[in-house]
């Protein structure tokens, strides 16, 4: 019997209706695909075309071996049932990852396909459990660093972004190259990946000696972020919501008067009349060109919120419905979100939709000088996350749903590129593999103003960086339930502001209380506006602290620019786990509340209410200079640091970035 066939750059296995193909996919990396009946389709959810590498393939009667640099795939046909088991090893022969065996009489399947209709299947891929720690996978709202033992939904929700790539301490990275809704279970006995609706199994695995080497192989395979624009390096001012033109101008002028630098000022949602109009409401923004021009005079970029919802009353709804540019419900009424009306979502997976919507955006925003956009609701946020109810141009949501936020970012990025813009960054509430290529700056969604949620964001940002999304941020202070009159919220805001100073982008936002209701001239109740959220809104002492931190951010621009360049050219995260820089120090692998900002700055936010001290672990392999007072500590120890409200622990690696000493 001939189970195996050699390819130019890989190998194929065939047995009883299943076809498995393993292909070299860039340096030290392999792509594995499988189908049950039929030929392997040449579609690709996330991987870019790969340069060919020198591979070595050896074929026997019952086994085969494929070697691509530092990674080896060993294929063995088991005698009972002729099931194929694949083992991945590094160049030393150590096992990185192994499929489960069929178990003899148990007749288990490492690649299990269950027919559901058409050419589609439910799929489960199973691997043996191993002693390892796992990091990445995108943004999940949990205070957990090591994901071993976690069950994760492979789907997007408001504040959840599934980006299915992880790094293992065993020395490999793994991408589930499948956009289907599903789950992954990182169990102690097995790791199991599930897709609800798919045509094939498809994953990418890469080997490396360090987390950085693994990350860079992955980013070469899926693409890197462009260079962050200059206005992305400083401070961004935002709140829910500046609801009229004069308010925007007044806030910008007040910051200028106080000498506090602002790089971007954000105009939030419902500056329009109906979702899907994609233009300013003339009642509240009668001369938006003059507003944008005034902010430009003050050195401030204007950002506007964009929603993918289309209200049934929108001026664009009839044409978009007739042209098939909206997400369709498989049954029932096409109302996918109830919010100030009955809304459907524009279908970002449809190229005709992307052109139609961008043309509206260009005419009504871009041509008046607005060059950066806030792409809200990007999951998209269905009224109920019953994914089987919805269909995109690209297919059933259960099969392809996770690409939506990437295609949403793509719509704007390609439109801006076509218009001649090079420095592109757009704020977006969700992402998938490849979103980084389209200038996507992800923020962590509508989280609560609590210390619990604050701590979760640190973990989320670190996992997002490892999953390949280097541009990431949060609403400083949280989004929901922050009351500007309460001392406990002011304390939380300051601690969050300190953290935000060292996020990839520094942006304050939130739905602050108490709120004010808005009623237009026709008597229609509009979306309300929150309490003031500018740095002077929280008292003189807090203004001093925040203003000083904005100054620190401004002072760091040269350093931040270099870190962003590194992310763009090499694929390294901006906000990094400590073990990314110090992989030999095993004490760094479980740190949930401290991180590296670039390679030289160790950031240790205060994340407990009322705390004025905190413990800090200083990684072995460097000396550490306290940015507050200049005192030097040797690495490999835990130190107890004072942290009164006006400051927090920040350390400089081997004395670098010494200009920060005394500033924090």
**Per-residue model confidence as pLDDT tens digits over 325-376:** 999 999 888 999 999 999 999 999 999 999 999 999 999 999 999 999 999 9
CA 504/CA 575 separation, integer angstroms: 6
Set 215, 277, 301, 376: catalytic member: 376
Set 446, 491, 620, 646: catalytic member: 446
CA 41/CA 31 separation, integer angstroms: 14
pLDDT for the residue numbered 95: 98
pLDDT for the residue numbered 639: 98
pLDDT for the residue numbered 608: 98
What are the CA-CA distances from residue 80 to residues 60, 88, 103 (Å)? 18, 22, 9
- Give the model's confidence band at 520: pLDDT under 50 very low, under 70 low, under 90 confident, else very high: very high
**In this predicted model, what pLDDT tens digit does every residue of 620-635 receive, in sequence order?**
999 999 999 999 999 9
Contacts of 355 (CB under 8 A, 6+ apart): none
Which of 283, 282, 298, 289 is CA-nearest to residue 250? Answer: 298
List the structure tokens of 507: 């942006």
Poorest-pLDDT segment among 272-276, 525-529, 599-603, 632-636 = 525-529
- Give the model's confidence band at 1: pLDDT under 50 very low, under 70 low, under 90 confident, else very high: confident
pLDDT for the residue numbered 491: 98
Domains of the chain by start residue, with CATH = 4-222 (2.60.40.1760), 230-570 (3.20.20.80), 577-660 (2.60.40.1180)
Query: Percentage of residues in the chain with pLDDT exceeding 90?
Result: 97
pLDDT for the residue numbered 137: 98
Residue 415, pLDDT > 80, answer yes
List the structure tokens of 351: 């190229």
Q: What is the mean pLDDT of the chain?
A: 97
Residue-wise over 145-161: b if at least 16 C-beta within 10 A, else e? bebbeeebebbbbbbbb
Query: Can you tell me the mean pLDDT for 153-175?
Result: 98
The number of residues making up the chain comes to: 664
Active-site annotation holds for 396: no
Query: Can you tell me the mean pLDDT for 628-655?
Result: 98
List the structure tokens of 527: 């979306």
- Give the model's confidence band at 179: pLDDT under 50 very low, under 70 low, under 90 confident, else very high: very high
CA 357/CA 308 separation, integer angstroms: 9
Active-site annotation holds for 376: yes
Query: Which neighbouring-strand residues pair with 482?
Result: 512
Residue 40 is classified by DSSP as P
Query: Percentage of residues in the chain with pLDDT exceeding 70?
Result: 100
Set 379, 381, 572, 585: catalytic member: 379
**In this predicted model, what pLDDT tens digit does every residue of 444-485 receive, in sequence order?**
999 999 999 999 999 999 999 999 999 999 999 999 999 999
Residue 592 CB neighbours (<10 A): 16
Which of 336, 194, 188, 259 is CA-nearest to residue 550? Answer: 259
- Give the model's confidence band at 81: pLDDT under 50 very low, under 70 low, under 90 confident, else very high: confident
Active-site annotation holds for 379: yes
Contacts of 250 (CB under 8 A, 6+ apart): none
List the structure tokens of 407: 């295609």
């Amino acid at each position: 019997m001939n189970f195996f066939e050699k390819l130019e750059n890989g190998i194929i296995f065939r047995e009883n209706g299943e076809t498995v193909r393993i292909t070299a996919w860039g340096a030290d990396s392999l792509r594995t695909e499988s189908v049950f009946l039929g030929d392997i389709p040449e579609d690709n959810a996330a991987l870019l075309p790969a340069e060919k590498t020198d591979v070595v393939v050896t074929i026997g009667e019952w086994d085969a071996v494929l070697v691509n640099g530092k990674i080896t795939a060993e294929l063995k046909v088991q005698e009972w049932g002729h099931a194929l088991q694949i083992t991945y090893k590094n160049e030393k022969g150590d096992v990185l990852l192994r499929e489960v065996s069929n178990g003899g009489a148990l007749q288990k399947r490492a690649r299990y396909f269950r027919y559901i209709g058409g050419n589609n299947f439910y799929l489960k891929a199973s691997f043996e459990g191993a002693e390892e720690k796992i990091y990445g996978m995108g943004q999940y709202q949990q205070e957990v660093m090591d994901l071993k033992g976690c069950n994760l939904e492979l789907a997007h929700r408001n504040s959840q972004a599934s980006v299915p790539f992880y790094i293992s301490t065993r020395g490999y990275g793994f991408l589930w190259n499948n956009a289907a809704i599903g789950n992954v279970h990182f169990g102690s006995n097995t790791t199991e990946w599930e897709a609800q609706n798919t045509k094939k199994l498809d994953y990418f695995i890469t080997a490396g000696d360090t987390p950085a080497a693994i990350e860079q192989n992955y980013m070469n395979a899926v693409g890197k972020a462009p260079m962050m624009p200059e206005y992305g390096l400083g401070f961004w001012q935002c709140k829910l919501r500046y609801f009229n033109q004069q308010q925007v101008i007044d806030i910008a002028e007040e910051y200028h008067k106080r000498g506090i630098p602002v790089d971007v000022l954000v105009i939030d949602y419902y500056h329009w009349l109906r979702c899907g109009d994609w233009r300013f409401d003339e009642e509240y923004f009668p001369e938006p060109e003059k507003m944008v021009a005034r902010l430009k005079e003050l050195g401030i970029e204007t950002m506007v919120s964009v929603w993918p919802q289309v209200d049934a009353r929108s001026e664009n709804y009839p044409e978009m419905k007739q042209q098939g540019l909206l997400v369709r419900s498989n049954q029932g009424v096409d109302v996918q979100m109830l919010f100030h009306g009955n809304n459907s979502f524009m279908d970002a997976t449809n190229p005709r939709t992307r052109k139609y919507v961008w043309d509206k955006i260009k005419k009504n925003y871009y041509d008046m000088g607005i060059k950066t956009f806030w792409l809200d609701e990007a999951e998209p946020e269905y009224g109920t996350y019953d994914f089987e109810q919805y269909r995109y141009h690209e297919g059933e949501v259960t099969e392809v749903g996770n690409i939506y936020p990437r295609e949403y970012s793509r719509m704007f990025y390609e439109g801006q590129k076509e218009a001649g813009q090079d420095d592109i960054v757009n704020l977006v509430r969700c992402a998938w593999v490849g979103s980084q290529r389209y200038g996507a700056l992800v923020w962590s969604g509508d989280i609560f103003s609590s210390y619990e949620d604050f701590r979760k964001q640190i973990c989320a940002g670190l996992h997002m960086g490892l999953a390949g999304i280097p541009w990431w941020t949060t609403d400083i202070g949280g989004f929901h339930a922050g009351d500007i009159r309460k001392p406990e919220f002011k304390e939380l805001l300051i601690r969050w502001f300190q953290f935000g100073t060292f996020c990839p982008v520094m942006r304050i936002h939130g739905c602050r209380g108490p709120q004010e209701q808005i009623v237009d001239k026709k008597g229609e109740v509009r979306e309300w506006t929150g309490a003031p959220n500018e740095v002077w809104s929280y008292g003189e002492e807090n203004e001093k602290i925040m203003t000083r931190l904005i100054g620190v951010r401004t002072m760091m621009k040269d350093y931040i620019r270099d870190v962003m360049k590194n992310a763009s050219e090499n694929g390294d995260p901006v906000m990094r786990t400590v073990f990314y820089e110090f992989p030999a120090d095993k004490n760094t692998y479980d740190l949930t509340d401290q991180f590296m900002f670039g390679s030289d700055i160790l950031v240790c936010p205060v994340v407990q209410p009322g705390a004025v001290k905190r413990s800090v672990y200083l990684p072995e392999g460097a000396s550490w200079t306290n940015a507050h007072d200049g005192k030097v500590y040797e690495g490999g120890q835990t130190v107890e640091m004072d942290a009164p409200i006006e400051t927090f622990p920040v350390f400089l690696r081997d004395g670098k970035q010494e200009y920060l000493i005394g500033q924090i």
